[in-house]
Amino acid sequence: MGSFRGQKDWGSLLTAMVTPFNEAGEINESEVRRIARWLVRDQSNDGIVVAGTTGESPTLSPEEKLRLLEIVLDEVGSEAAIVFGAGTYDTRESVHLTHEASQRGAHGIMAVNPYYNRPGQEGLEAHFREIAGATQLPVMLYNIQPRSAINLETETLLRLAEVENIVAVKEASGNLNQITDICSQLPHGFRVYSGDDGLILPTLSVGGVGLVSVAAHCIGKDLKAVISKYAAEPLKARQSFHRVLPFIRAIFAQPSPVPIKYCLSRLGFDCRSVRLPLVELRRNSQHDLDSVMVRCGLLDAAQAGLVEWRG
């Protein structure tokens, strides 16, 4: 069974952090620092996932990914767990990134299912074993069939859980039966994190420990309260979750991370830009998100410009 072996604990709430770009389309390093501080100090995150798919990792160069890691470690690495998204569809590159991130002081590695090439369960298992073998850091597997076109089956995950430093899975398959199965069958101490903000309550109910979030960029304190209240006060946890559910649904109504970057920009961060093939939100979608942010208490109507807009 996996072990953190003296490494910094990841906690129960991590945010897969967006990557802000400047007008030239390059990483905005000062804004990376601001967002990292905001996530840890203002939004109650225990950890940050750097260079994950929410950070637009498929469009980042290896050098950019590692530079992001260095910045975030420097800014908040003493306060939070910094997990590096090393997974790609190329095992050799994933191993290289894992090694480099380990050398730079990351607190963990996240490895997503290889996307596009659909290697089958045997290839998937071999891919993850190679990544885990390239580091002594704890490793989180990331199962997201909708984006990778392959599911990490329960039997495969159980075999991978025998690897000493594979300690967790971010489950974003959307399959509650599968999530229930893995929570009931994985060895004691192996961590199951929800990879869907909207499924945090059912994941907790069957044995999950927390959430790797997108929404926690803006509602981290609320989501942390849901997680911390669940065991002793499930009714209050459910009520807290229902209050923020409209926001969670809204930020996934368009291709992620476009909506959450827009919402962060409405809170004062310079991070609206995305890299192609993603494009920014149309004006009507911006108004829809503004309205949801007002309803959830993240903006007031005047600040959002909705009083004038509604006429």
Write out the catalytic residue numbers.
Answer: 142, 170
Rg (CA), the chain: 19
- Rounded to whole angstroms, how far apart are CA atoms 88 and 114? 6
- Exposed, middle or buried by CB within 10 Å (0-12, 13-18, 19+), for 187? exposed
User: Cα–Cα distance between 165 and 172 in angstroms, integer?
Assistant: 21
Q: Kindly report the three-state secondary structure assignment for every residue of 163-207.
A: CCCEEEEEECCCCHHHHHHHHHHCCCCCEEEECCHHHHHHHHHCC
Q: Which residues have C-beta within 8 Å of that of residue 72, sequence separation ≥ 6?
A: 17, 32, 33, 36, 48, 50, 82
Pairing of strands 108-112, 81-85: parallel
d(CA 74, CA 187): 34
- From residue 202, alpha-carbon distances to 183, 186, 226 in Å are 12, 17, 12
For residues 237 and 309, what is the distance between their CA atoms, to the nearest angstrom?
A: 35
H or E segment to which residue 276 belongs? none
Tokens read off for 261? 């970057």
Each residue of 68-105: b (16+ CB within 10 Å) or e?
Answer: bbbbbbebbbeebbbbbbbbbbebeebbebbebbbeee
Contact in structure between 12 and 208 (CB atoms under 8 Å): no
Distance CA 20, CA 42 (A): 18
CA 241 to chain centre: 18
